[in-house]
Structure 1
Amino acid sequence: MSSAVIAETGDSGPVDRAPCILALDLGTTTGWALHGHDGLITNGTVSFRPSRFDGGGMRYLRFTNWLTEIDRMSGPISTIWFEEVRRRAGTDAAHVYGGLMATLTAWAELRGVPYEGVPVGTIKKHATGKGNAAKQAMLEAVRARGFDPADDNEADAIALLLWAIETKGGMA
């Protein structure tokens, strides 16, 4: 049995299940892609934009709750991959990214879920052949693979998930 398949015993005997892999493009609008136990890929975006009545930590509490709900509904999550950004254009974006990354890694550590960041250039090169590909090229590359992302955040998460599956078998 390969390491990418988990055997479970059901009423009718052993059932092979693929690992549940979550890929994230962290930001105020977070792109996500999930390779479920059934082998299907689902994807989307989720907004962690605070309302005017929210305190500073509400964005991160909502992100924690979202992760917990994904794990409960589709998990347990076997591995988490996230886009590792080395440079952000603005201070606010850098703070949001750092807070989301800290929340993600703490959430994963508490549950024993392996996680790993992947440099943006690595994801872009795998998807398009160019490590400095533009957002439109990433959207086109993901669409060519049969997906219909709503925006570049979702496209990046899908591209990251495909990279993880195709180069690492999905496991960190």
Structure 2
Amino acid sequence: MNDTILSMPELEAYEPFAGTAHSPSIARAHVSDAADPWARGGHEMAPDASPRRADAGSTVASGAGVNVCILALDLGTKTGYALRRRDGSTRHGTEVFTPRKSWSEGQKWARYRAWLAGVINDEKVHRVVYEQVIRHEVKGRPVWDAAHAYGAFEAITHMVCDGFNIQAHGVNLSTVKKSFTGSGRAKKEDMMLQAKVRGFKVVDDNNADALAILHWAVAQERAA
């Protein structure tokens, strides 16, 4: 499968109502069907479908599922996502919101809002879970640009979810890492490797983190 991450041409023109019921061309999520990959310990890849924007693939397995649709997000300019439908089918990938020179200052946020609202609306999402970052640091030093961007993505996530009367729940990544790999200090390479071991074809570490968040969320739902 071609894993090239593409942009969102349908939203090239700025839409003041993007992400709302008034948007004429709200971003639509691409769908591929499969059965429940969370029903057992191992996960098998379904045959590759045609490449569709940022979708990395889908998975298939048998067994009883969780009766809610869960969307997991690794927030950022490159937002990793993993969605598990009520029927157990899963789609995942990375959606890129890197600004183009032609974009106005607010289009990055409008496009994320439109994309998220489109996924929630089209997929009938019941739960949204995202990585909750306490601080952004590189070698012990704060990275303010990343922190500011994350805050905006988090705020928009809560705003969109509130519009659909669903709650966005943040979870610490170390908790997710321990659930997914057995170590709360797992590195990016470890997360990607674990995703591949579980049968997922990931496009990057953002995609792998989203799958790990979804893995944790499904476990919590089953334990409830």
1:81 aligns with 2:134: no
Distance in 2 of aligned mates of 1:119 and 1:142: 18
8 Å contact kept, 1:21–1:170 = no
SS at match of 1:56: coil
Distance in 2 of aligned mates of 1:91 and 1:38: 41
Aligned with residue 41 of structure 1, among 41, 66, 90:
90
Superposition RMSD in Å: 1.8
2:121 alignment partner in structure 1: 72
CA 1:150–1:19: 2 relative to 1, 3 Å: same
1:27 alignment partner in structure 2: 76
Distance in 2 of aligned mates of 1:65 and 1:170: 32
1:157 aligns with 2:210: yes
8 Å contact kept, 1:79–1:170 = no
Indicate the percent of aligned positions where both proteins have the same amino acid: 37
Question: Which of structure 1's runs of 4+ aligned residues deviate more than 6 A?
Answer: none
TM value normalised by structure 2: 0.66
TM value normalised by structure 1: 0.84
Greater helix content: 1
1:113 aligns with 2:161: no
Distance in 2 of aligned mates of 1:129 and 1:79: 24
CA 1:123–1:45: 2 relative to 1, 3 Å: same
Greater strand content: 1
Extract unaligned runs of 5+ from structure 2.
1-64, 138-142
* Aligned-residue offset at 1:62: 0.3
Aligned with residue 125 of structure 1, among 178, 194, 205:
178
Matched positions, count: 155
1:167 aligns with 2:215: no
Aligned residue type for 1:84: Q
8 Å contact kept, 1:23–1:160 = yes
Extract unaligned runs of 5+ from structure 1.
1-15
1:55 alignment partner in structure 2: 104
